Amino acid sequence: MLVIDPDTCIDCELCIPECPINAIYPEDELPECYEEWVDKNEQLYEDGEVITEKVDELEGALSLEEIQEKEKAAGLDVEEPSKAG
């Protein structure tokens, strides 16, 4: 999983269409079921390492389709970010 530094993010939203699993939302579009991830992102960032170049998908990463299937199986109806690629 990759996380974003909340202290240096300027909310330019350029990362939204780059995310292959549509996991980044503008603040005003964040689904309620994912609100807990704002704090988790900040905590995870503190222990992470900075990546400055695009990397291949991480081992074991779920595809967008697999994530959407899990959301539906959990009874969630999550809209994708409006600027998703």
> In the chain, what are the domains?
1-85 (3.30.70)
pLDDT confidence bin for 14, thresholds 50/70/90:
very high
Using a 10 angstrom Cβ sphere, with 0-12 exposed, 13-18 middle and 19 or more buried, the burial of residue 30 is: middle
What is the rounded CA–CA span in Å between residue 51 and residue 64? 22
How much is the pLDDT for 69?
96
Structural contact between residues 1 and 48, judged by C-beta atoms closer than 8 angstroms: no
Residue 29: band (very low, low, confident or very high) from pLDDT cuts 50, 70, 90: very high
- Average per-residue pLDDT for the chain: 91
Specify the pLDDT at position 56: 87
Structure tokens at 65: 């389709």
Average pLDDT over residues 27-55: 91
Residue 27 per-residue DSSP state: G
